Amino acid sequence: MTVKWRIGKYLLPLTKVVEDKRILFSFRYNKAIIAEIKSMAGAKWNADHKIWSVTNNARNRFNIAWLEGVNVFSDFDKPIPSVVSLLF
């Protein structure tokens, strides 16, 4: 699937394929995208296929969602529910 990542003030296109254990990325050479991918867990360059891949885990999915423009912090911005209201 083709997605756009927010890198600085630009939206840069790349292809993302989600597999069972890995998430694969294909894109035109860009140092900023490579730096973002290298900061993720399990980042590897697959020279045979000329693609980057990272481990498919919650941390990486969170980072990818943020780069795609999803407001991942919206749940943290909500007020904390009162314990009393949860009991009754």
- Local confidence band at 88 (pLDDT 50, 70, 90 cut-offs): low
Give the type of residue at 62: F
Please state, in angstroms and rounded to a whole number, the distance separating the CA atoms of residues 31 and 20. Answer: 27
Strands (E), the chain: 2-7, 10-18, 22-26, 44-46, 51-55
Residue 67 has pLDDT above 80, yes or no: yes
Q: How many domains does the chain have?
A: 1
What is the per-residue pLDDT across 15-32, written as a single tens digit (0 to 9) for each?
999 999 999 999 999 999
Cβ-contact 81, 17 below 8 angstroms: no
- The first and second tokens of residue 87, run together, are 């009991």
- List the domain range (segments joined by +) for residue 57: 2-87
Residue 36 has pLDDT above 80, yes or no: yes
Q: Is 84 helix (H, G, I), strand (E, B) or coil?
A: helix
- The first and second tokens of residue 25, run together, are 């990325």
